[in-house]
Amino acid sequence: MSTAGASPAPAGFAAAGSAAPASATTAPANLSEDQTAALQEIANIGMGQAGDSIARIWKQFVALSVPRIALVESGRIPTLIHHFVGDARVSAARQAFHGAMRGEVLVVIGRGNRDQLGELMGYDGQLDLGEEQEMLLDIANVLGGACIGGIARQLGADVGFSAPSLIGTDLDSHAVVRPEELCVSTALCVEVCFTIESNQLSAHLIALMPREELVNLAQLLDRFLCNL
Amino acid sequence: MTVSVLVVDDSPIARKMLRKALPVDWDITVQEACNGEEAMTHYRAGKVDVMFLDLTMPTMDGFEVLAALQKEDLNCFVIVVSADVQPQARERALGLGAIAFVAKPVNAESVRTVLREYGVLV
């Protein structure tokens, strides 16, 4: 049941809003050093807000990693996610955001501690598949909304969110994203890890934005930098 | 009397945001450090009256700086400026001797309020 209950839509940018244009001729090659530094700090603050939101639900202190930012070719995204998450079997959900910034957030959770996680989320005893899926969608919704919402607020950008959907509940970490199903060649990837140290429990949040979105993002970051 | 301020953050953007939030009518000299070790070097040189301290930094994080300062008699005001806004982070920072905890993104108003509260700024 490797993808039991999975959303029929592929994991990737294809479902993140309107179809991305095939060419990226207007996209900058990369963000400048200043733009990257600004995004790093803004992501840091957004992730801090997401950490606080999930800590209030879990009623536990959540350790936050420093966000990692990378511009990667879509073919390398599965390897990158495996690098972030490790070898464990994982469950994953996704949530698209659109508006002044467009992309999607993936939430990837190691499957080993799902009952402990269920307990923190208020479920009793061993989780059945339906409960596990519901829990994943709830976590994706909280983390995605708080993080991307926090980033957008700082950039003065309006974003909306689609309902979260399930990628799968027992996946190899390489299989969370399938590059052949992505509509873009390059993506901006922002990753952070939320950990409850006492339970050895961690959730990874990975925001992916198609390279075409870099033009918009670069403008928003420039405006932010101008106001400093 | 001119007050010596040290802004400690690994992010150059965060340091800029903090400097911008400092009161313009405050008689200060400002120095910057990009990790805890650099902050301790400034402190040990006796040049820090008020330290604005980030928590998440490579090399030596904000909590480690607070612990080191306590061992060395904590002879300055430390205001923690943090993206991690969980109540436990605040409690831990205050427990380690910080006088205040300001959530990122900082704004001039919250910085001024904290400085006034502790009589650092009249």
Judged by a CB distance cut-off of 8 A, whether residue A38 touches chain B is: yes
Average pLDDT, chain A: 82
Fold adopted by A32-226: Chemotaxis protein chec (3.40.1550)
Evaluate the omega torsion of the peptide bond into residue A67 and state whether it is cis, within 30 degrees of 0.
no
**What pLDDT does B17 receive?**
95
Q: For the residues A99-122, what does the mean pLDDT come to? A: 86
Residues of chain B with a CB closer than 8 angstroms to some CB in chain A = 11-14, 16-17, 20, 56, 58, 82-86, 88-89, 104-105
Q: What percent of chain A has pLDDT over 90?
A: 36
Residues of B with Cβ-Cβ distance to A45 under 8 angstroms? 83, 104-105
What are the boundaries of each domain within chain B?
3-117
**What pLDDT does A34 receive?**
93
Contact A154 B105 (CB under 8 A): yes
Contact B83 A48 (CB under 8 A): yes
What are the boundaries of each domain within chain A?
32-226
Residue B18 has pLDDT above 50, yes or no: yes
- Which one is predicted more confidently, A19 or B35? B35
Rg (CA), chain A: 17
Whether domain B3-117 has CATH 3.40.50.2300: yes
The count of other CB atoms within 10 Å of the CB of residue A201 is 20
How crowded is the C-beta side of A112, counted as CA atoms within 13 Å? Answer: 10
pLDDT tens-place string over residues B52-106? 999 988 889 999 999 999 999 888 999 999 999 999 999 999 999 999 999 999 9
Residues of B with Cβ-Cβ distance to A49 under 8 angstroms? 83, 85
Spatial separation of the C-alpha atoms in residues A223 and B18, rounded to whole Å: 18
Spatial separation of the C-alpha atoms in residues A193 and A63, rounded to whole Å: 8
- Which one is predicted more confidently, A205 or A87? A205
Residue A23 has pLDDT above 50, yes or no: no
Of B14, B86, B88, the CB nearest to A41: B14
Of the ranges A13-22, A124-133, B79-88, the best mean pLDDT one: B79-88
Residue A28 banded pLDDT, cuts 50, 70, 90: low
Q: For the residues A68-93, what does the mean pLDDT come to? A: 87
Residue A2 has pLDDT above 50, yes or no: no
Residue B41 has pLDDT above 70, yes or no: yes
Residue A25 banded pLDDT, cuts 50, 70, 90: very low
Q: For the residues B26-32, what does the mean pLDDT come to? A: 95
SS3 of chain B: CCEEEEEECCCHHHHHHHHHHCCCCCCEEEEEECCHHHHHHHHHCCCCCEEEECCCCCCCCHHHHHHHHHHCCCCCEEEEEECCCCHHHHHHHHHCCCCEEEECCCCHHHHHHHHHHCCCCC
Residues of A with Cβ-Cβ distance to B86 under 8 angstroms? 51-52, 55, 61-62
- Output DSSP code: residue A227: T
Spatial separation of the C-alpha atoms in residues B86 and B79, rounded to whole Å: 16
Q: For the residues A139-167, what does the mean pLDDT come to? A: 93
Q: Which residues are within 8 A (CB) of A199 and not within 5 positions of it... i.e. 6 or more apart?
A: A60, A113, A116, A120
Residue A137 has pLDDT above 80, yes or no: yes
